[in-house]
Amino acid sequence: DRRCPHRQADLAYGRREDGGLRCAFHGWLFDVEGKCLETPAEPAGSRLCEHIKQRACPVVERSGILFAWLGAGEPSAFPHFDCFTAPDSHTFAFKGRWDCNWLQALEVGIDPAHASFLHRYLEDEDPAASYGKQFRGRPSDSELPITKVLREYGRPEIAVAKTDYGIRLVTLRKIDERQTHGRSTHILFPQAFVIPMNAEMTITQWHVPTDDYGCYWFSVFTSFTAPVDKKTMREQRLKTYPAPDYKPVQNRDTGWGFDAEQQRKATYTGMGFDINIHDQFACESPGRIADRTRENLGSTDKGIVLYRRLLVDAINKTAKGERTMMMLDATQAASLTGPPAVDGIGPTGRWEDYYQEADAARRSRAPWSAKAA
């Protein structure tokens, strides 16, 4: 709880000192377990602090992000996913604020068909200039710009499957009888996804509510080859989500930067070239809490249908006091690795084989991977 139990001042602005956190209002000091250690303005010999207990939650840092366990009992163990096992040199963390319910922000990542429309660029740019940009480089094992693939092959075949960690989605766009473009993406239940950013980098992104009407997304970019150029990545993203609050420069009030001339000539949305703004529009424009009774889902929404079933099941189990998916002990956590998020062009009819081969080859080149040669 960030409110001091004395007069409710915000402890987020407290002083880190004397083995704990000291409130900036009256100097009350709390240790990491929430025990009040000092009430310095009280009379000498006062025992008031013995009766004060602040709610505290276990916190750990992984890959530049702080994770807190807000539930009761022992915290769930961390899975051995790539974003947690890669060293600091090969990961980069960032966040952004959206003005909508967290579930809307997550569901855009369970909808692979939208990339051919929402993220469509009417002209291709040089993939060599695509560092740090999603949907702007080349798929694995191809010279085709990904912008061209998404633009020209807009009717994908989508397969979804439940996994031990959530959902795996495979999206295939058949180019011809010899080649098929595929993307393997994942949902980490309950509120994260893992997607390929390009041939050598993945994005793991969590969606965390601030209240019912807003959320932050937290991303970890994981490189399988060279160390991440964190300076470039941060500068790119701060242009759209400036510190200190990371609220986007384009929003509902600015029409998400819509420009009719650009929509005619450059992008499908007319909302600039940053796909985060495209996704933000898609998530915020239905309202801060979307009315899903007005939806008409199609076959491309099968991932969303499966996810909502898993979510309802988890809600029911929680109400009964039962454990839900991804509440892990150490053994279970150690068994969850990867998951391999791949974007590449492979042989038509055997993309699943190609996907496994491409992931194995990428890991063999990763200096930090346990499977590196």
pTM of the model: 0.91
Task: Kindly report the backbone phi and psi dihedral angles of residue 332, in degrees, each rounded to the nearest multiple of 5, phi listed first.
Answer: -65, -40
Structure tokens, 120: 């469509």
Say what the pLDDT of residue 99 is. Answer: 98
Burial of 119 (0-12, 13-18, 19+ CB in 10 A): buried
Angle at the Cα of 217 from the Cα atoms of 215 and 218, rounded to 5 degrees: 140
Distance CA 151, CA 121 (A): 7
Residue 373: its pLDDT value, please?
A: 38
* pLDDT at 372 > cutoff 60: no
Pick from 61, 62, 58, 67: which is nearest to 84 by CA? 62
* 371: confidence class by pLDDT, cuts 50, 70, 90: low
Q: Is the pLDDT of residue 87 over 70?
A: yes
Which residues 6+ apart lie within 8 Å of 315 measured at CB?
Answer: none
Fold of 61-365: Naphthalene 1,2-dioxygenase Alpha Subunit; Chain A, domain 1 (3.90.380)
What's the CA gap between 73 and 323, in Å, rounded? 11
- Residue 217 tokens, joined: 């997304």
300, pLDDT greater than 70 = yes
Q: Smallest Cα–Cα separation from 176: which of 299, 349, 343?
A: 349
| Backbone φ, ψ for residue 207 (5° rounding) | -125, 110
Domain ranges of the chain: 11-56, 61-365
pLDDT tens, position by position, 310-369: 999 999 999 999 999 999 999 999 999 999 999 999 999 999 999 999 999 999 999 998
Q: Can the peptide bond before residue 244 be classed as cis, meaning omega within 30 degrees of 0?
A: yes
Instruction: With a cut of 70, say whether residue 137 has pLDDT above it.
Output: no
- Checking if the pLDDT of 111 tops 70, the result is yes
Residues 6+ apart with CB under 8 A from 267: 120, 121, 122, 273
Location of structure tokens 């992008």: 267
